[in-house]
Amino acid sequence: MSAVSPRPAPGAPDPRLFATDPHMAVSMRGLFKRFDDKVAVDGLSLDIPVGSFYGLVGPNGAGKTTTINMFTGMLVPDAGTASILDHDVWADTAHAKRLIGLMPQPDQIFTTLTGMQLLVYAGMLRGMGRAEASRRGADLLAAFDLTESANVMVRDYSAGMTKKICLATAMIHSPRILVLDEPFEAVDPISSANIKDILVEYVATGGTVIISSHVMALVERMCTHVAVINRGRVVAAGTVDAVAAGEDLEERFLQLVGGRHGAAHIAWLDGGENGESADADAVVAATEGGAR
C-alpha cells in the first residue's frame, strides 16, 4: 500500500524513494527526528519479520526510544514512513495501534487503581466488555503471580510488580506485536523467568516481540534477531548469529558502537595494602598537623 508521510526535514532523506515491506511485522524507511539542534534519529530504515523475537540495542541516547515512539504512532517523525503489518502508521493510525501492545512506563499508568482495575480499564479502552476484560485480567494476574495483589493499589506495588502490571496492560487485547522498552528492569529472577516463558510462548503462536534492552546476555539468549542502533542509525541488523559474527554479542556490540577506552588510572584508588597504608598515613599526618 502507498504510504503517506510527513514532509521531509531539510537534509533528511525523501521517504518517497523508499517503500515499506508489506510482509514485515514492522517496516521503517528513512525515519528522521530532530529535537532542537540534536538529531535523535537519522534516516533509520529497518525491517522486523513476523514471528521474530527482535532486540533493539544501543548506547544511551542512541535513538532507540525515539524510534519506538515513532513506529508505534506515539511521535510524528520529521520525515520517513513506517508500517505495521502493511498498515501505514500515520495514514491508518487507529488500525495500526490496534495491532500493537506497547508496554507503558510506570509513570504513564494510573497508580491509584488496583491491579485488576488497571487491567479492566486497559481492556475496556481497547473496546472489550467489562466481563471479558475482567476474565482476561484474572488470567494475566495469575500468569504474572499478581493474583494476591489484584485488589491492591498499584502505587503500593514494588518496582518489579509495577513492571509486570505494565506488561500485562500491553497484552490484554492479544496484540499481533508486543513492543517492550526494558521489560526486565527491576524484575526479580523468578518473575523474569516467568515473563520470558510467556513471551516465548507468544512468539511460538505467531506473535512478534520487539524489546529494547541494555542487557546483551538477555538479548543474545532470547532474541532471534537484533539491530544495533548508534547515533540514530542502524549499524548492524539481522539474526543474532549474523550480527555477532562468531563473537560474543556484547563484544561485537562494543566494536560496532565504539566508545570503550582503557581504564583510567586513579592514583589513590588502590585496593591493596599500599592504598590502605597511604590513606592511613595521610589521616595521621592531618591529625598531627591539627594538634600542633
Q: How many domains does the chain have?
A: 1
pLDDT (0 to 100) of residue 290: 60
Q: Is 262 left (phi over 0), alpha (psi -120 to 50) or beta?
A: beta
Range of the domain at 147: 106-174
pLDDT (0 to 100) of residue 11: 57
pLDDT (0 to 100) of residue 135: 98
The answer to whether 227 touches 45, Cβ cutoff 8 Å, is no
pLDDT (0 to 100) of residue 270: 78
In a domain, 204, yes or no: no
For the chain, what is the total number of helices (H) and then of strands (E)? 10, 10
In a domain, 151, yes or no: yes
- What is the model's pTM? 0.83
In a domain, 190, yes or no: no
Per-residue pLDDT of the chain (292 residues; tens, 9 = 90+): 434 445 555 555 555 556 899 999 999 999 999 999 999 999 999 999 999 999 999 998 899 999 999 999 999 999 999 999 999 999 988 899 999 999 998 999 999 999 999 999 999 999 999 999 999 999 999 999 999 999 999 999 998 899 999 999 999 999 999 999 888 887 888 888 888 899 999 999 999 999 998 888 889 999 999 999 999 999 999 999 999 999 999 999 999 998 666 666 788 887 877 766 656 666 666 666 665 5
In a domain, 62, yes or no: no
Distance CA 150, CA 108 (A): 19
Bridging pattern class, strands 177-181 and 79-84 = unpaired
In a domain, 289, yes or no: no
pLDDT (0 to 100) of residue 89: 95
pLDDT (0 to 100) of residue 217: 87
Grid cell, residue 29, equals 524507511
In a domain, 111, yes or no: yes
DSSP code, position 90: T
In a domain, 136, yes or no: yes
Torsion from C-alpha of 261, 265, 270, 275, nearest 10 degrees: 180
pLDDT (0 to 100) of residue 5: 47
Q: For the purposes of burial, counting CB atoms within 10 Å of the CB of 167, is it exposed (0-12), middle (13-18) or buried (19 or more)?
A: buried
In a domain, 165, yes or no: yes
pLDDT (0 to 100) of residue 282: 62
pLDDT (0 to 100) of residue 259: 67
